[in-house]
Structure 1
Amino acid sequence: MPDRLPLFPLGSVLFPGLTMPLHVFEERYRRLMSELLGPAEDAGEAQQFGVVGIELGHEVGASAAHQLSDVGCMAEVRSVRRHDDGRYDLVIEGRSRFRVEEVDDPDDDRPYLRAATTLIPDELGAGAEEQAERASRLFRVYCERLTGIGIPTEPPAEFPADPLPLSYAVASALVLDQRDKQALLEADHAAARLELASALMRRENRVLTALPTLPAGPLLRREVNLN
């Protein structure tokens, strides 16, 4: 990891092993992408930066004061389309989690944020297998509840069975607010993440059971994140 990791603040949470589309249009983040991709864009080299949640402030606007989450996720560019006007459409994939230690102020040379960071190791935790079985069952019920209110949903055919990737896949798939998503990202290990996800799914399953049937589609529409 670089001594100073470029940061991309978002009002969304990226999880290791999962992908996210980004539309980059703000000048400082165009600058970041230009420096990251540069001549290596067509060379297949891994180009990484840090995605970190915004707890207070806005994604767009040079004057926005960001209060950032303490934990973020390394992002690797998987595909990129550069527009003639300098905008970028990206698909990124989450890699390792990191903890933000110290954030540098932007300056004229680097108008985007950078930070000193520490990688967070991924661990299974005690009881991970049992938690994985429980979370898998609850996720199937969650999908059934969504289908029951008019949003046809099935667990992905290739949903992981191993506790660690499953913990991130479930966390990413659930329709939750950013605070809940961030708590899932920050969980100490896979067992704790699966236990929290199960508690959240029990809550959501109760809510979904009480909802009337909705027009199909709105909750699970994949939104493109704007910088």
Structure 2
Amino acid sequence: MDSPSNVSSTESLPLFPLHTVLLPGAPLGLRVFERRYLDLVGECGRTGRRFGVCLILEGEESGAPATPAAFGVEAIIEDFGTEPGGVLTLSVRGARRFRVCRTSARDNGLLVGHVRWCDGPEEEGTGPRLLPEHAVLGTLLGELLQKVGGMRDAPNLRLLEDADWVGWRLAEILPITEEQRLALLQEDDPHRRLQHLLVWMDEE
């Protein structure tokens, strides 16, 4: 964690720690029933702000504030509804990666991260092209997306040649652990992310 003298350039972001890693561009469904998170959703609705999702390193999703991982992803609320009993449901999608420099807790137990945003392409399809040694991963992703159908619209060729996009979508689909997804989230270089995926696939 950074010292107080180095956090002046950080931005505060409410955190929603989970036992799941949210990835850039990936969808995630949430059930919200604790008061602190209901307040958070209301705040996002009033102000247009977003919140961050981090993997829980220690603790639980409900009850006392959990210990979040140092890296997470900004969540954009795309839709919401209610279940019988009044439980709020959210459909969110991952956006920018961030690093948590320090955390604080509000009176209601909600964690707030003081974060720095990580570098990354601003739009899908604008990342670096796949290296020749990773071309097979773009082909694999195209085949997987056809098989899983309905996950998202069929990507165009430009996306299947984008190292950032291919890496995140494979991390979303492949049966890897949450700890492995967190390792990818901490990696700034999209080519190294793809290399990690190749190694893990060879180990299976």
Q: Which residue of 2 is the match for residue 113 of structure 1?
A: 111
SS state of the match for residue 184, structure 1? helix
SS state of the match for residue 180, structure 2? helix
Q: Is the 8 A contact 2:141 2:169 kept in 1?
A: no
The CA deviation at 1:67 is 2.1
Q: Is the 8 A contact 2:141 2:166 kept in 1?
A: no
Which of 113, 117, 122 matches 2:120?
Answer: 122
Quickly say closer, same or farther: Cα 1:140–1:200, change in 2 above 3 A.
Answer: farther
Note the 1:39-54 alignment, pairs <5 A. Answer: 47-54=49-56
Please tell me whether Structure 1 or Structure 2 has the larger radius of gyration of its CA atoms.
1
Q: Is the 8 A contact 2:17 2:61 kept in 1?
A: yes
TM-score (structure 2 length as normaliser): 0.78
Q: Which one has more relative contact order, counting CA pairs under 8 Å at least 6 apart?
A: 1
Matched, 1:25 2:33: yes
The CA deviation string for residues 65-110 of structure 1, in whole angstroms up to 9 with x for no partner, is: 52211110011111111568653211111111000001012314xx
Q: In the aligned structure 2, how far is the partner of 1:83 from the partner of 1:3?
A: 33
SS state of the match for residue 11, structure 2? coil
The CA deviation string for residues 111-155 of structure 1, in whole angstroms up to 9 with x for no partner, is: 311011000002767x842254132356689x6xxxxxxxxx558
Note the 1:7-156 alignment, pairs <5 A. Answer: 7-38=15-46, 47-61=49-63, 63=64, 65-82=65-82, 87-108=87-108, 111-122=109-120, 128-137=130-139, 153-154=147-148
TM-score (structure 1 length as normaliser): 0.70
SS state of the match for residue 94, structure 1? strand
Quickly say closer, same or farther: Cα 1:17–1:140, change in 2 above 3 A.
Answer: closer
Q: In the aligned structure 2, how far is the partner of 1:112 from the partner of 1:91?
A: 20
Residue-pair matches, total: 184
Quickly say closer, same or farther: Cα 1:203–1:34, change in 2 above 3 A.
Answer: same
Q: Is the 8 A contact 1:164 1:190 kept in 2?
A: yes
